[in-house]
Amino acid sequence: MKKILLVEDDRLLNKTLAFHLTMEGYEVISAHNVATAKDYLSKGKFDLIILDINLPDGNGFELCKMCRSKTTIPIIFLTANDMESDMLKGYELGAEDYITKPFHVSIFLKKVEIWLKSTSIKNTGNIYDDGNLILNFTKRTAMIQGKNIELTTAEFNLLYLFVINYKMVLTRSLLLEKLWDENEKYVDENALTMMVSRIRSKIETKDKKYIKTIYGMGYQWVGDAYEE
């Protein structure tokens, strides 16, 4: 059974969402503030975090940042704010999705279902290793210059698309289509831009680049060739 941490200070909304999620067969742990959420996170593992931004003892951005330093599980922001700056900040901190209140419960449940589906990559028996960057597509682990690096589910899936399409120019529209059709993820232009930026910050250095921006088109993997 998939386990969800629901962090929402509106007790009625929290109870309502928890009820619908439970009816869908998920185990739901509810928290109404940052302190309680941190306590739950320190004691157990979750498959998904649904996180409100405005909380009585802090904000969801701070909690998201803390979570990203320890785990790569999907995070969905749940908030009444629809400002682009808030959405971009959420993506920058590593959140996979963003739901703006008010919303239809059916849409909410669909997004939860999609993010909780298996993230196993097909035909993952090989390892990319160029002597600098190592990507294990079986274990979904990554190392740069001998040090482990953390990639979120969405980042790993996007990186996989780049690697298997060595030297091909992948347009932004194609990447959005692939991330939705193959990996069944809700991804928009802002999320894609932020994911590429985060991946670059984790695997690239001044002297070693892997992803090239083709202005007006999309991106191209310029690392070593990879064969499955």
Do the beta carbons of residue 124 and residue 156 sit within 8 Å?
no
Nearest-CA neighbor of 92 among 200, 194, 202?
194
Residue 180 in any domain: the answer is: yes
One domain for residues 103 and 198: no
In the numeric block, which tokens belong to residue 64?
A: 């998201």
| Average of per-residue pLDDT values in the chain | 85
Residues contacting 30, CB < 8 A, separation 6+: 6, 7, 8, 14, 15, 18
* pLDDT for the residue 25: 93
pLDDT tens per residue, range 110-166: 889 888 874 434 444 578 888 899 998 777 889 998 899 998 888 888 888 899 888
pLDDT tens per residue, range 65-100: 888 877 778 899 988 766 777 778 888 888 888 888
One domain for residues 11 and 105: yes
* pLDDT for the residue 122: 41
* pLDDT for the residue 37: 95
Mark which of 77, 94, 116 sits at the end of a domain: 116
Mark which of 71, 95, 116 sits at the end of a domain: 116
One domain for residues 106 and 138: no
CA within 13 Å, CB half, 133: 21
Provide the whole-model pTM.
Answer: 0.58
Q: Which residue has the higher pLDDT, 37 or 87?
A: 37
